[in-house]
Each structure stands twice: as C-alpha cells, then as structure tokens.
Amino acid sequence: TDSSAAISTLNAGYAWMGMNVFCSAAYVLGMRKVIKKMNFKDWDTMYYNNLLTIPVLIVSSFVMEDWSGVNFSKNFPEETRNRMIIGMVYSGLAAIFISYCSAWCIRVTSSTTYSMVGALNKLPIAISGLIFFSAPVTVGSVSAIFIAFVSGIVYAIARMRQSGPRDTLPTTRPTMSASAQSSR
C-alpha cells in the first residue's frame, strides 16, 4: 500500500506539472497575441493582467479562508500586525514590479526566450534546495539540473548565431567579365 500511495502521489504531481506547463504556455502565447493586437504598452499589460486576477483571488479568499475574528487575531497578532502589513505592502510592490518586467519581456523578446528565462531562474532554487535544505542528491536531480543548464547554454548560443550577421544571397547579378560571359 505504501508503494501504491507513493505512485499515486507521483502521478498527481506529474499531472499538476503537466497542467502548469500547458497553462503557462497558453498564458504566454495568448498574452503576446493580446499585446500585439491591442497595441498595449507594458503598463497597460501589467494593469489589466493584475486587474483580471483580483476577482479570482477575492472569490477564492471568501470561499476557502476562515474570516472569523479569532482566526484574524491568531494570524495577525497585535504585536506584529504593523510589520506584517508593511511586509505585505512591500510584497505587493515587488509583485507589481515583476508583473511589469514580465510584460516588458513578453513584448520585447520571443515567447521561447521568456519561457527559457523562467526555466533558468529555477536552477539556483534547485541547487540551493540540494545544498541548504537537505533535498536528496540523486543522479536524477543532479542530471536534471545539468541538462537544464546545458540547454540554457545551447539556447543562448543558438540565439546569438540567429541574431548575428546573415549571409544573404545576391539580389542582382554580379558584373562579369567578357571572358566569363563567353564561357556561359
């Protein structure tokens, strides 16, 4: 029964990861299309993106959270309430900044580059999990980090080659000498 529970947990994790990949890809591709179609600037994209999430967060909060006075006092004790609220304000400002930067990145770069940057941002977290949080160091975890790192390097090299000077075919016939023309 332990192995069947472990397998079902593993499968549930893979299902969530698959849904996350699908939703993230749909979001980035859809957002890029909307930015181009509506001619949004970075501020507009960030504003409407955050505005659309507010109803979902409010409904989820009222449905899933305990809004009783006892729970409020327990989670926001009087002696630390001001510091917690200041921390929430700083966190909100950081979220706005990150949302603005994401909108800029989606507008300026390709969707693939945006996704690659997001994937590469997870590498330091994965490495710190192995070092600081006693996550098991296995062949699978180390090889996954290594493959992600190498794929980032390969992508960067491919992008540099792609944006480099291109060899173009001549659009007009080059001037030929009379002897070269006679051999044709």
pLDDT in tens, 35-77: 888 888 888 888 888 898 899 999 999 999 999 999 999 999 9
The pLDDT score that the predictor gives to residue 81 is: 92
Cα distances (angstroms) measured from residue 6 to each of 2, 15, 64, 136, 184:
6, 14, 27, 16, 75
Structure tokens at 76: 């926001």
Collect the ranges in the chain with pLDDT lower than 70. Answer: 164-184
Average pLDDT of the chain to the nearest whole number: 86
The pLDDT score that the predictor gives to residue 132 is: 92
pTM: 0.64
